[in-house]
Amino acid sequence: MTGKILEVEKRKEYQPFLTYYENAYNQISSISITELTWKILFDLYRIYEERGNLFRASEFGNYTRQTFLYIIDQMKSKRLKEIYMEKPERKYVLKKLGLS
C-alpha cells in the first residue's frame, strides 16, 4: 500500500516507491500464492515496463502469468473460472500478458 501511495505522492522522507513493492514481493513470495501475489507481481511488471527496464519487466510479467494461471488452475468449476476472469481488472491483466 505504501508503494502505491508513494508512486503518486512522492515524498523525500520515504524510500523510493519501488522499494516498497519489492519488499512486499519478498514478503509474500515465501508464504502462499494468493490474489495479492499476482497483483504485486503485476505492479512490479508495470513499473519496470514504464521505466524501460524490459528485462525485469519480462521477468515479472512471466511470474505474474504463471501465478495467475496457477490460481485459475486451482479452480475446479469451469463457471467459477469464467466468473473470476470476467472482472475488468483481471481481463486487463490477461490481455496485457497475452493470456486472452
Contact 3, 43 (CB under 8 A): yes
pLDDT of residue 2: 47
Domain-embedded: residue 98: no
Taking the CB of residue 40, how many other CB atoms lie within 10 A of it? 24
CB atoms within 10 A of CB 55: 7
Q: Return the C-alpha cell found at 85.
A: 476472469
- Work out how many domains the chain is built from and give that number: 1
Q: What does 43-88 look like in DSSP terms, one character per residue?
A: HHHHHHHHTT-HHHHHHHHHHHHHHHHHHHHH---HHHHHHHHHSH
E strand or H helix that includes residue 50: helix 35-50
Please calculate the CA angle 57-72-91 and round it to the nearest 5 degrees: 60
Asked if 67 contacts 41 with a C-beta cutoff of 8 angstroms, the reply is: yes
Question: pLDDT tens across 46-85, in order?
Answer: 999 999 999 999 999 999 999 999 999 999 999 999 999 9
The model carries a pTM of 0.76
In one-letter notation, the amino acid at residue 43 is D
Domain hosting 66: range is 2-74
Please report which confidence band the pLDDT of residue 10 belongs to, taking 50, 70 and 90 as the band edges: low
